[in-house]
Amino acid sequence: MHFQPSLLLPLVAVATAARPMLWWPNTLAEEQYGTIEPESALPNVSTVVGLPDFQFLAEGHMNLSSYTYYHSGAAGEWSYRNNLETFQRARLRPRVMKMVDDIESSLPTQILGYNFSLPLFISPCARAGYANETGELGLVRGAAAGNVLYMVTDFSSRTKEEISAAKAEGQILFQQLYIDPHNDTATLEQIREAETLGFKALILTVDSAADGNRHRALRFGVGSADSSYSSITWEKYNWMREQTSLPIVPKGIQTVEDAVIAVRNGAPAIFLSNHGARQLDGSPNGFEVALEIHEQAPWVFDSLEVYADGGVRYGADVVKLLALGVKAVGVGRPFMFSNIYGEAGVERAIEIIRREIAIDAANAGIADLKQINSSVLALNRYPFWGQGS
Ligand SMILES: Cc1cc2nc3c(=O)[nH]c(=O)nc-3n(C[C@H](O)[C@H](O)[C@H](O)COP(=O)(O)O)c2cc1C
Ligand SMILES: *[C@@H]1O[C@H](CO)[C@@H](O)[C@H](O)[C@H]1NC(C)=O
Ligand SMILES: *[C@@H]1O[C@H](CO)[C@@H](O)[C@H](O)[C@H]1NC(C)=O
Ligand SMILES: *[C@@H]1O[C@H](CO)[C@@H](O)[C@H](O)[C@H]1NC(C)=O
Ligand SMILES: *[C@@H]1O[C@H](CO)[C@@H](O)[C@H](O)[C@H]1NC(C)=O
Ligand SMILES: *[C@@H]1O[C@H](CO)[C@@H](O)[C@H](O)[C@H]1NC(C)=O
Ligand SMILES: *[C@@H]1O[C@H](CO)[C@@H](O)[C@H](O)[C@H]1NC(C)=O
């Protein structure tokens, strides 16, 4: 057949229109809130309906360079997009006519032996001060109000002393660490500081062997804060464990191989993450890594605690991760955006996701989140691993 470009053009347009880069879906946030400017008053936080709303509000409220620092992913942000989209490729298989009235009683979760109200935590994200001058204090206090775990970033806007001092009575915080593998003196100082300030576990970020390639952020000079080559080997990990009784959790495990090696090294937990797709474009999100482990070494989930994050925005996303055996799920950017309100925003974000986890699990026919398994996921029906969309 003779090639007719004019026939192809409408198809190209349709294909492009069908796959726009949607950082959040249009659920009429703009119609509700109107245009938000940096100087305008924020709408009453109780009117926020979902986690994506906080990003909409923060985009208007924060200046462009600060907003860009939070928003940015690596390179073309294909993995950032994938982090958000992966959850829709694993559809649910809701069971009906089940007794689900008591689902809320299965929300409380132990993380490394500490009790929290949800199988969900605040992932460590740098520079909370960009959203609100109270910085990390909003996250600490919001986490306390909702009784969820907050993993405090190493690159905080407030000092670690201020953050620790803001704890509610009995509140548990974990400390995320970036270490310089070439300077054990500095690493020991970091460990001692965390111990002295009462952090209960160390989250060791291992996914940043090199600078993150962040095109969007580089335009504003707000790229990766961790800029040197810094491979952390298992030998270094084991050396660190000899220096402290605090549990040390590797954050940024992205393959079943490394999950298995973590088990062999006696790690108490692993954190599946691609750093919010800010390091390596092409890296998988936590759900894809959990799926790989589920398929190839499911015993890992029984050998240690598995945490995962990347693109979690709705209760159903959390349910899907738990179904694979993940113990607790991290959320990063939405909490950072919610912090434009300070602690009230963080508290509202927790309240929203708490309700969504419960109602989404119930609508999927899950009576008890602790008994959830992968039968609630339609795993083999939708393409994964880049087989299309
Ligand atoms: C603004 C920002 C700063 C971050 N800073 C850190 C950090 O200091 N240490 C770290 O281990 N991960 C950091 N991360 C990654 C988060 O811990 C988390 O893995 C990621 O945000 C999860 O994806 P989500 O934002 O889509 O929920 C950061 C992420 C963002 C968005
Ligand atoms: C926000 O809305 C809630 C619920 O309607 C109300 O109780 C509260 O007083 C409002 N807060 C402000 C600051 O207007
Ligand atoms: C944690 O919760 C468990 C089960 O509900 C309970 O037995 C335990 O005493 C709690 N631990 C603490 C430290 O509160
Ligand atoms: C943007 O906001 C941040 C944090 O509030 C501030 O430090 C920075 O100077 C602002 N940048 C511009 C260009 O206004
Ligand atoms: C190692 O860290 C210590 C403590 O922070 C610092 O004083 C020292 O200069 C560092 N050494 C090198 C070679 O950077
Ligand atoms: C920043 O957080 C503080 C404390 O939580 C809060 O009082 C303040 O209103 C927040 N700023 C904005 C602009 O909402
Ligand atoms: C998985 O969950 C379903 C639904 O609750 C249940 O019927 C099934 O027995 C469970 N499978 C396993 C292997 O536990």
**pLDDT per position as a tens digit, 257-296:** 999 999 999 999 999 999 999 999 999 999 999 999 999 9
Block residue for tokens 């954050």: 251
Residue 141 annotated as binding site? no
Tell the residue nearest (CA) to atom 6 of ligand 5: 186
The predicted structure's pLDDT at residue 228: 75
Cα distance between residue 386 and residue 55, in whole Å: 28
338 lines ligand 6 (CB under 6 A): no
Confidence of residue 382 (pLDDT cuts 50, 70, 90): low
Handedness of CA 158, 159, 160, 165 (dihedral sign): negative
- List CB contacts of 163: < 8 A, sequence separation 6 or more: 136, 137, 140, 152, 156, 173, 197
Ligand 2 centre to CA of 341 (Å) is 14
Quick one: which ligand is closest to 323's CA? 7
User: What is the pTM for the complete model shown?
Assistant: 0.94
- Looking at residue 374, its amino acid is S
Higher pLDDT, 121 or 383: 121
Q: How far is CA 295 from CA 232, 250, 332, in A?
A: 27, 21, 27
196 lines ligand 7 (CB under 6 A): no
pLDDT tens profile 305-348: 999 999 999 999 999 999 999 999 999 999 999 999 999 999 99
In the chain, what percentage of residues exceed pLDDT 90?
84
Residue 205 annotated as binding site? yes
Domains contained in the chain, CATH given = 28-37+46-369 (3.20.20.70)
The predicted structure's pLDDT at residue 126: 98
Q: Calculate the average pLDDT of the chain.
A: 93
Ligand 6 centre to CA of 135 (Å) is 10
pLDDT tens profile 112-158: 999 999 999 999 999 999 999 999 999 999 999 999 999 999 999 99
Quick one: which ligand is closest to 366's CA? 7
Q: Mean pLDDT lowest for which of 134-138, 171-175, 246-250, 384-388?
A: 384-388
Active site residues: 275
Residue 312 annotated as binding site? yes
Confidence of residue 160 (pLDDT cuts 50, 70, 90): very high
In the chain, what percentage of residues exceed pLDDT 70?
92
The predicted structure's pLDDT at residue 3: 45
Tell the residue nearest (CA) to atom 7 of ligand 4: 130
* C-alpha neighbours within 13 Å on the C-beta side of residue 169: 0
The predicted structure's pLDDT at residue 230: 82
